[in-house]
Structure formats: structure tokens, C-alpha cells
Amino acid sequence: MTMTRNLCDSGSVSPPPATAGTRPAPRLSPLVLLSLGALAWRFGFGVYRAIYNNFLVEVHGIRPEQLGLIESIREVPGLLVVFLVALVAGLAPSLVTGAACLLLAAGLLLYPFAGGFGHLVAITLLFSTGFHMLFPPQNSLVLHHAGEGKKGQWLGRIEGVGSAAALGAMAMTALLVSRLGFRGLFFLGAAVALGGAVAFFLTPGPDRLMVRSRGLGLRREYFSYYVMTLVQGARRHFFLVFALYNLVEVHEVPTATVATLLTVSGVALVATRPLLGRLADRFGETRVLAWCFGLVAAVFTGYAFVRDVRLIYLLFFLDSVLTFELVIVLYAYRIARGEGVAAALAGGSTVGHITGVIVPFVGGLIWKFAGPSATFLFGTAVCLFGLFHAVRVGRRQALEAPARPSPSSPA
């Protein structure tokens, strides 16, 4: 994203100097404000993640096909985020980020008042629009304020702050759900997220959010990467939608236990993500992807046939920590060096959200007419396809490697 100059640099009148005997009001730095904003909205999202499925089942009795439709609609803003951001490109990124955070907070606030399926769809669409609109302007503000050589460091710091806030929210939910109930927790998440919106509104920055429109950025030479992203997107939504629904609807796992499982697996992810990256560096991305797709296929098969809830907890934990988007990003970097990486990743994001719209809807219908085992076996088949694709691409790379010069070789 291209940034214009800050309003303070574009001829605006400077405030008068402080008179003798007075102190200027202390101001938080922009990066501190952005950190507070990220902490607040990720806390609200953590509360949502911990209670959402139990809320749908226990309060509204949502059926699987209804859940699939809600989740498909939830992913539509993610599919259209490029166009949504383009619509607000003339506004200040701090304004866009604050408004997106307000939408997210409004969704959390309204969930307890939902009167039925139609209300849930509308509120989820509102919440999801805010969620998906947050990332582009928030990241552009971080990049704008971070000094040269520290941009990646600050992106990582703020992501770390947000992840810690989400984990804290889920742990808190496990402790307080019996006292506050769904309504109280939604209100708490909304109040904290509202504080994040205030922090974003107070963050200075450019007067316009500039976006380079290049369409969807799909290219034929990145086809193998798009296929992997497509399969990973499908696998992700089998987990987010149906693995959680399986815990709540089929095995009647209470909210506190779900929140505890999410917290424990989230902490474990801190270790497994770097581990997968190191394995990819050592053995190659396609080999690690084949292992991951194979393991997830086994987990989904377990969901289909295991009835012991303790084993279901173990499967859910394994499913949670097998988050390997990082390995797919590394593969994209391998095949699309230089400026092509951004185009490949942008196209991959679009492709991933396509499965986000399709998989929940189709999986919900399969659950309704054939049962949960059929839904998870469908997921197994998708992951096995991913495994065979990764093996095929790896073999092709091995055949092409001797004839292809390394990036460090002289031209």
C-alpha cells in the first residue's frame, strides 16, 4: 500500500507552544496506540471464538446446514476485502481501522439480542466485515510509523500482543463463563473491542489509505501454490466449523472445556509454528506439507469414527497445532521470488476465501443428509488430495532441480 504524507506534514498549523509553568499533555506514541488497539480487538475476538459454537447450539439450537450457511456468509467479506478496502481508499487509515473495530464491537454487542437464524446471519455479516477490514489499514499504519529496518519487528510485536490477548480472553472465558454467561461475556468482549476502536481513532497517520488495484492477481505459474492454498483453506474450515461443532453438538462439551482446549492448543502453537518452519527449511516445503496433510487426514478419519470424548480432545489438539499456512507461504516464496511474492500471496488469499464460502455450506448439507462421519470423511478425502498434490509437486521439483540454477548462481 502506498502512503501519503501525514497531515502534520502537509501544511497544517502547528499547535501553540506550551506557556511557562504548564506541562504539555502526555501523548502515547502511535505504535503504543496501535498495540493497544490490537490487544483490545483480539481480546474481543478471543471471547467470540471461545463461546460462539456453544452459544449457537445451546441458545439457538442451530442445525448443521444452518451453521454451514452462517459460516459461508461469514467468509464473504474476506472474499471481497480487496474491493471493500478500495471503496474506502480515500479515507484516513486510522479512521478505517477504527470504524472496522466498531463494526466488530457492534457484532459482539448484538449477538445476545439475536432472535433467530436471520438475526444471526445479519450480525455475523456485520462482525465479519469489521474483522476482515481491520487487517489492511492496521498493517499500513504499523508500516507507516515503524522506522526503517524495524517494520517486520513491529508487525511481529503487534501480532504477538494480539495473540496473547486472544489466549488470555479464552482462558478468562473458561474461568468466568459460569458466572457471566454468554450475554455477559459478549458484552465484555464488545466493551474491550470498543476501547480498541478509540485507540485506533486516536492514532495519527496519513490522510488517505492508498491502494494499488491489480485485480485478483492470479497467475498460471503459481497454480501449484493456489491448489495448496485451496486445500489448506478447506482443511481450515473443516476444523473451525465442524470440529468445534462436533465437540459441542455431538459430544456435548461445555463452553469452559472448549475454551480450555482452545487456550492450551493456542499456547502449543507458539512452539509448533517455528518447528514446522525449521522442518520446511531442512526437508523442503512439499515434503512437510505432505506430512501435514496426511496427519490431518488421519485426524479427520478419527473424528468420523471415534466416540470416546477423551480421544476426541486429543484429536482436536492435534488438529489445532497442525496449522501450516507458514509452510505454504515459504513455498510461495520459493516459486515467486522478488516482487512476485506479493502477487502470489494476494491471489492465494482470494483462493483461500473461496473455499471458506463453499466448504461450510457443502459440509453442512452433507452433515444434515449423511451425518457427521460423512462430513469428516469428505474432509479426509480433501486432505488426501492435498497430500498427493504435495508429493507430485515435490517429485517434479526434484526432477527440475539439476537443470535449474540456484538463486545465488551467477547469470
20-77 pLDDT, tens digit each: 444 444 477 889 999 999 999 999 999 999 999 999 999 999 999 999 999 999 999 8
Judge whether 9 lies within some domain: no
Domain-located, residue 7: no
The model's pTM? 0.82
226-241: pLDDT as tens digits: 899 999 999 999 998 9
Using one digit for the tens of pLDDT, what is the confidence trace for 242-278?
A: 999 999 999 999 999 999 999 999 888 877 878 888 8
Assess if residue 13 is contained within a domain.
Answer: no
Shared domain for 71 and 196, answered yes or no, is yes
226 and 260 share one domain: yes
Q: Calculate the CA 145 to chain-centre distance.
A: 23
Q: In whole angstroms, what is the distance from residue 138 CA to residue 96 CA? A: 9
The whole-chain average pLDDT of the chain stands at: 84
* Cell numbers linked to 6: 501525514
Q: Residue 105 in contact with residue 153, Cβ under 8 Å? A: no
What pLDDT is stored for residue 3 in this prediction?
39
Instruction: State whether 128 and 187 are in the same domain.
Output: yes
Residue 199 lies in a domain: yes
The answer to whether position 2 is within a domain reads no
- Res. 10: pLDDT tops 70: no
Q: Which residues pair with 214 in a beta bridge?
A: 216
Number of structural domains found in the chain: 2
Choosing from 144, 173, 208, the residue where a domain stops is 208
Range 341-352 average pLDDT: 72
CA 237/CA 378 separation, integer angstroms: 12
Is 54 in the same domain as 163?
yes
Structural domain contains residue 160: yes
Do 151 and 171 sit in the same domain of this protein?
yes
Contacts of 355 (CB under 8 A, 6+ apart): 230, 231, 233, 234, 237
Residue 324 in contact with residue 288, Cβ under 8 Å?
A: yes
Q: pLDDT, tens digit, for every residue of 181-229? A: 999 999 999 999 999 999 999 998 777 765 555 555 567 778 888 899 9
Quick one: pLDDT band at residue 350, thresholds 50, 70, 90?
Answer: confident
Per DSSP, the three-state class of 409 is coil
Q: Report the C-alpha gap between 405 and 411 in whole angstroms.
A: 9
Shared domain for 229 and 142, answered yes or no, is no
Q: Considering the domain boundaries, does residue 378 fall inside one? A: yes
What DSSP string runs through 213-248? -BTB---GGGHHHHHHHHHHHHHHHIIIIIIHHIII
Res 13: pLDDT = 39
**Residue reference for cell 496473547:** 164
Same domain, 202 and 317: no
Is 360 within the bounds of a domain?
yes
Q: What is the pLDDT of residues 309-329, one digit of tens each?
A: 999 999 999 999 888 887 888
Q: What is the pLDDT of residues 79-108, one digit of tens each?
A: 887 777 778 777 888 999 999 999 999 999
Reported as a pLDDT band with limits 50, 70 and 90, residue 368 is very high
pLDDT of residue 157: 83
DSSP string, 52-78: HHHHHHHHH---HHHHHHHHHHHTHHH
pLDDT in the model for residue 41? 96
Best CA proximity match to 357, nearest among 230, 246, 245, 243:
230
Over residues 112-139, mean pLDDT = 92
- CA 267 to CA 171: how far, in whole Å? 11
**CA atoms lying within 13 Å on the CB side of residue 79:** 16
Do 382 and 341 lie in one domain? The reply is yes
Same domain? 251 vs 365:
yes
Q: Look at residues 2, 202, 212 and name the one whose alpha carbon lies nearest to residue 95.
A: 202
Cα 16 from Cα 166, distance rounded (Å): 41
Q: Residue 265: name the closest of 170, 182, 376 by CA.
A: 170
Domain boundary, last residue among 179, 208, 237: 208
Whether pLDDT at 403 is above 60 = no
What is the C-alpha to C-alpha distance for residues 88 and 101, in angstroms, rounded to an integer? 15
For residue 1, give the C-alpha cell. Answer: 500500500
2 pLDDT higher than 60: no
* Burial class (CB within 10 angstroms; exposed 0-12, middle 13-18, buried 19+) of 84: middle
Give yes or no for residue 347 having a pLDDT over 80: no
Q: Which residue among 208, 226, 257 closes a domain?
A: 208
Distance between CA atoms of residues 402 and 50, nearest Å: 50
Structural domain boundaries, residue 197: 27-208
Q: How far apart are CA 276 and CA 270, in angstroms?
A: 11
Average pLDDT over residues 134-151: 81
150, 236: one domain? no
Q: What is the pLDDT of residue 276?
A: 84
